[in-house]
Amino acid sequence: MNKKLLVLIFIGIFLVSFISAFEKEVIYIVTNDPEPAFLIAMDDLGLSYDVIYHTDVDEFFDFSSYKMILVNDDYFPNWDLIPINEKPSLVANKDNIHNWGWAVRATEISSSGGIYVDADNSTEFTQNFPNNFKTYTSNYPNIYQLDKYDIFNGFEKLVYSTFDEGDIVVGVINAGTTLSKIGYQDTFVNAKSAFFGITESEHWSVESNQLFKNLLLWLTA
């Protein structure tokens, strides 16, 4: 092997290492303040991340150095510049769910006695969960669900309403899935993704916190 080729190899190895050092696993996009427990969950799992405000995302923004996208429960006026359906994504968001072609709308659920949900224990995400659990330690925060009349077909159900198992509170979409609903354009989901309707993280129960972490691990694997 000649010296010039050897030098080029070493330069290539250095550049790959240099670029990798600046790659992050999660890009967390917000409009307002980030959810504190979202940050704590990523720190607990040892995930690297950047918190980016939506105003920093334009048509030239490079998402290629991130493994997954996490979006807050905010309205994103530039939703079309965030490549949901193209990269692994965790959507803790009700306001743009129709823009991304997952459901007609998300429905807000409240209860002065606290909100309980049922879990499908046959999934890898919830197999050790109780069949029924409280979403928050406080009785007052709201959750969001994709009603069975609004959701597009193609979700795998993880957590659902205690009143109707067709109403999904947390669900995942496998890569290569076509979401469909009569009367609406199909949505092709090119990367594994998840909807998470338990958005007020400062009040999470143990189960809600663990489920969020389980989804992060799946999406960054």
Tens of pLDDT along the chain (221 residues) come to 554 443 333 434 333 333 344 489 999 999 999 999 999 999 999 999 999 999 999 999 999 999 999 999 999 999 999 999 999 999 999 999 999 999 999 999 999 889 999 999 999 999 999 999 999 999 999 999 999 999 999 999 999 999 999 999 999 999 999 999 999 999 999 999 999 999 999 999 999 999 999 999 999 99
How far apart, in whole angstroms, are the C-alpha atoms of residue 40 and residue 185? 37
Count CA atoms within 13 Å of residue 211 on its CB side: 35
Distance (Å, whole) CA 30 – CA 33: 7
| Dihedral angle over CA of 153, 179, 66, 203, nearest 10 | -30
Q: Which residues pair with 52 in a beta bridge?
A: 29
116 Cβ contact partners less than 8 Å away, ≥ 6 residues apart: 132, 133, 134, 135, 162
Give me the amino acid identity at 80: D
**pLDDT for the residue numbered 90:** 98
For residue 207, the one-letter residue type is E
Query: Tokens for 138?
Result: 């406080």
- What one-character-per-residue DSSP string does 48-116 give? -EEEEEGGG--TT---TTEEEEEE-SS--TTGGGS-BTTB-EEE--SSSTTTTTSBS--EEE--TT--E
Whole-number pLDDT of residue 20 = 41
Taking the C-alpha atoms of residue 68 and residue 216, their distance in angstroms, rounded to an integer, is 9
* pLDDT of res. 23: 82
Check: CB of residue 199 under 8 Å from CB of residue 73: yes
40's enclosing H/E stretch is helix 36-44
Partner residues linked to 158 by β-bridges: none
Spatial separation of the C-alpha atoms in residues 216 and 221, rounded to whole Å: 8
The model's pTM is 0.89
